[in-house]
C-alpha cells in the first residue's frame, strides 16, 4: 500500500519539502510492478478464452478495398539484413476483425499511420511527450520504508526544462526510481539519461541507494499533451485506446487508470456497435462515451497544468497551484502545445552540459544499463530504425544540432563515428533499442521512423 507522499524541491546541494498537490496524493493506492500486473491480467484474459500471441507484434495495418481497416498483420520472420527472405522465413499472420482496437502504448507506430490516413489529429493540438527512464534497485533493508513515495523537481534540470523524478519503495527491499524529462526541451546538449544518473547522486537521494544493487533498467516515452491533444478516437474499422490515444494525467503522472477505463469504454461501445443492425464501419459512439466518462472530466480539469511550464519551473508550479486551488480546473481558457521536435534549438545557441563520468556504484554507463534491460533482437534482420533521408544525420542533425540522437536515446543506439578523421557518420546499433520511441518523437526533422522489429525483439523487463 502507498504510504507517505513526499514532494521535494532539489537545489544543487540541498532540498526542501513542497506541499503535495491533491493529484499527487496516493493515499489508498498500491505500488505495483506494471509488468507483473500485465502478466497477471494476461492470465485472466486467457482463462476467459482470449487468445494472446506474445512475441508477435502487430507490424502492419490491413485495409479493405474501400479503405476501411480490415485488421493487422504480424511481422514476417526470417527476413535477413539484405531485406531478402532467409531459410527460416515465415510470413506474418493476418488477423481480421470487424473492429480492431489499437492499444499500442505511447506513440504507436501503427497509430501514427492511422492518424495520417484518417486525419485523426485535425483540429487538435500536437501531442507532446516526456521520456521516462527507470531503474529497479534492491536496497539496504535498514533504509527501506515500504510505501514511501518521493517525487522531486528542480536539480539537476535547468529551470526551463520540464521534468522531475519518482521513487517508490515496493516490497522486498525493492525501490523503483525514475526520471522524466519533457521532450519539448530546447538544449540539444541535454541528455535525459545523464540527468537521471546525476539526480541519484544528490545528497537527499543518494543515501537510499548506497549499499544497494541495481537490478533492472528501462525507458519509455509517455504522452503528456492531455485533453487538448486527444485525437478523434474512432475511424472506419477501429478505435484507439490507452496511451496511443494520449490518455495520461500529467500532474498525477499516471495513465494506467485511464488506459483501463478507455479499454472498458471501447469494449462497451464496440460491443453495442456490432450488435446494432445496419451499423456502419465506424463505432461512432465510442468518442461520445469517452466524453461522458470520468476520464474526460479528469483530463479536462488538469489540461492547463503541463502547458503552464512554458513559463519555467516556478511559473509552472505557481500557475498549477492557482489552477488547482483557485480555478479548480475550470479556468475559462485552454493553453496549447507545440510539436516537441520543433522546439530543439541550435547547438551554438545553448550551453554544453558537462556530465560527470559514471562511478559504477550509483551511476552507470548506457551499455551496462541496456544489459540489465535484457534487450534482445534477432541479429540477422534489417534495422527497425529507418531513416527517410540518409544525408540528414550528418547534414542537419550533426551540423546544426550536434547529433542530439546520441544524447536523447537512453540506450546508446545512435553513435557518431569517424569524427577524428573528419568524416563523421552515424552508426545505428538497433539491437540495443529499448522501444522507448524517443527518436521517432524528438528527431528535429522527423527523419527517424521507428518500425516494429522482428518477432518478440525488444526489452524484457522482469518486475518493472
Binding site for ligand SF4 (CB under 6 A): 385, 409-411, 413, 433-439, 450
Shortest Å distance, C-beta 409 to ligand SF4: 3
- For ligand SF4, give the closer residue by CB, 216 or 304: 216
Measured N-to-C along each axis, helices 256-275 and 294-301 cross at an angle, to the nearest 10 degrees, of: 140
Q: How are beta strands 448-450 and 425-428 bridged, if at all?
A: unpaired
- For ligand SF4, give the closer residue by CB, 125 or 443: 443
Cell of 100: 480492431
CB environment 318-355: b (16+ within 10 A), e (fewer): ebbeebbeeeebeeeeebebebbbebbeebeebeeeeb
- For ligand SF4, give the closer residue by CB, 69 or 411: 411
What DSSP element (H or E) covers 46?
helix 34-47
Question: What's the number of CA atoms in the CB half-sphere (13 Å) around residue 115?
Answer: 19
Shortest Å distance, C-beta 128 to ligand SF4: 17
Shortest Å distance, C-beta 130 to ligand SF4: 13
Shortest Å distance, C-beta 442 to ligand SF4: 8
Q: How far apart are CA 388 and CA 190, in angstroms?
A: 25
- For ligand SF4, give the closer residue by CB, 320 or 404: 404
Q: How far apart are CA 244 and CA 127, in angstroms?
A: 10
Q: How far apart are CA 130 and CA 326, in angstroms?
A: 27
Q: How far apart are CA 56 and CA 77, in angstroms?
A: 10
Cell of 350: 545553448
Contact 296, 303 (CB under 8 A): no
Shortest Å distance, C-beta 417 to ligand SF4: 16
Shortest Å distance, C-beta 423 to ligand SF4: 23
- For ligand SF4, give the closer residue by CB, 347 or 435: 435
- For ligand SF4, give the closer residue by CB, 222 or 308: 222
Amino acid at each position: 500500500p502507498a504510504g507517505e507522499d513526499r514532494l521535494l524541491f532539489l537545489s544543487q546541494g540541498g532540498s526542501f519539502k513542497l506541499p503535495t498537490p491533491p493529484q499527487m496524493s496516493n493515499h489508498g493506492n498500491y505500488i505495483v510492478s506494471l509488468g507483473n500486473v500485465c502478466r497477471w491480467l494476461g492470465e485472466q484474459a486467457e482463462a476467459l478464452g482470449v487468445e494472446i500471441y506474445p512475441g508477435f507484434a502487430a507490424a502492419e495495418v490491413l485495409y479493405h478495398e474501400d479503405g476501411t481497416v480490415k485488421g493487422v498483420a504480424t511481422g514476417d520472420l526470417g527476413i535477413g539484413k539484405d531485406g531478402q527472405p532467409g531459410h527460416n522465413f515465415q510470413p506474418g499472420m493476418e488477423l481480421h476483425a470487424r473492429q480492431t482496437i489499437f492499444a499500442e502504448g505511447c506513440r504507436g507506430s501503427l497509430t501514427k499511420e492511422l492518424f495520417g490516413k484518417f486525419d485523426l489529429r485535425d483540429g487538435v493540438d500536437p501531442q507532446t511527450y516526456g521520456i521516462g527512464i527507470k531503474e529497479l534497485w534492491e536496497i539496504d533493508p535498514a533504509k527501506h520504508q515500504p510505501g514511501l513515495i518521493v517525487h522531486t523537481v528542480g536539480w539537476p534540470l535547468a529551470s526551463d526544462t520540464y521534468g522531475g523524478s519518482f521513487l517508490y519503495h515496493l516490497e522486498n527491499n525493492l525501490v523503483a526510481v525514475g526520471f522524466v524529462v519533457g521532450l519539448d526541451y530546447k538544449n540539444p546538449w541535454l541528455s535525459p539519461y545523464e540527468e537521471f544518473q546525476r539526480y541519484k547522486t544528490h545528497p537527499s537521494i543518494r543515501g537510499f541507494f548506497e549499499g544497494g544493487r541495481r537490478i533492472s533498467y528501462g525507458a519509455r516515452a509517455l504522452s503528456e499533451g492531455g485533453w487538448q491533444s486527444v485525437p478523434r478516437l474512432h475511424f472506419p474499422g477501429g478505435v484507439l485506446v490507452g496511451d496511443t490515444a494520449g490518455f495520461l494525467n500529467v500532474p498525477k503522472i499516471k495513465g494506467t487508470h485511464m488506459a483501463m477505463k478507455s479499454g472498458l469504454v471501447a469494449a462497451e461501445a464496440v460491443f453495442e456497435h456490432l450488435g446494432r443492425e445496419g451499423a456502419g464501419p465506424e463505432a461512432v459512439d465510442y468518442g461520445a462515451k469517452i466524453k461522458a466518462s470520468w476520464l474526460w472530466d479528469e483530463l479536462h480539469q488538469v489540461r492547463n497544468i503541463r502547458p503552464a511550464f512554458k513559463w519555467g519551473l516556478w511559473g509552472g508550479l505557481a500557475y498549477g497551484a492557482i489552477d488547482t486551488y483557485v480555478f479548480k480546473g475550470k479556468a475559462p481558457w485552454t493553453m496549447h502545445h507545440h510539436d516537441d521536435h520543433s522546439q530543439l534549438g541550435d547547438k551554438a545557441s545553448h550551453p554544453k552540459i558537462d556530465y560527470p563520468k559514471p562511478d559504477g556504484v550509483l551511476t552507470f554507463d548506457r551499455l551496462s544499463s541496456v544489459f540489465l534491460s535484457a534487450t534482445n533482437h534477432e541479429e540477422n534482420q534489417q534495422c527497425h530504425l529507418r531513416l527517410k533521408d540518409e544525408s540528414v544525420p550528418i547534414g542537419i542533425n550533426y551540423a546544426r544540432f550536434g547529433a542530439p540522437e546520441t544524447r536523447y536515446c537512453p540506450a546508446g543506439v545512435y553513435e557518431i563515428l569517424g569524427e577524428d578523421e573528419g568524416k563523421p557518420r552515424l552508426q545505428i546499433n538497433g539491437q540495443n533499442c529499448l522501444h522507448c520511441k524517443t527518436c521517432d518523437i524528438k528527431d528535429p526533422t522527423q527523419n527517424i521512423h521507428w518500425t516494429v522489429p522482428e518477432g518478440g525483439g525488444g526489452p524484457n523487463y522482469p518486475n518493472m
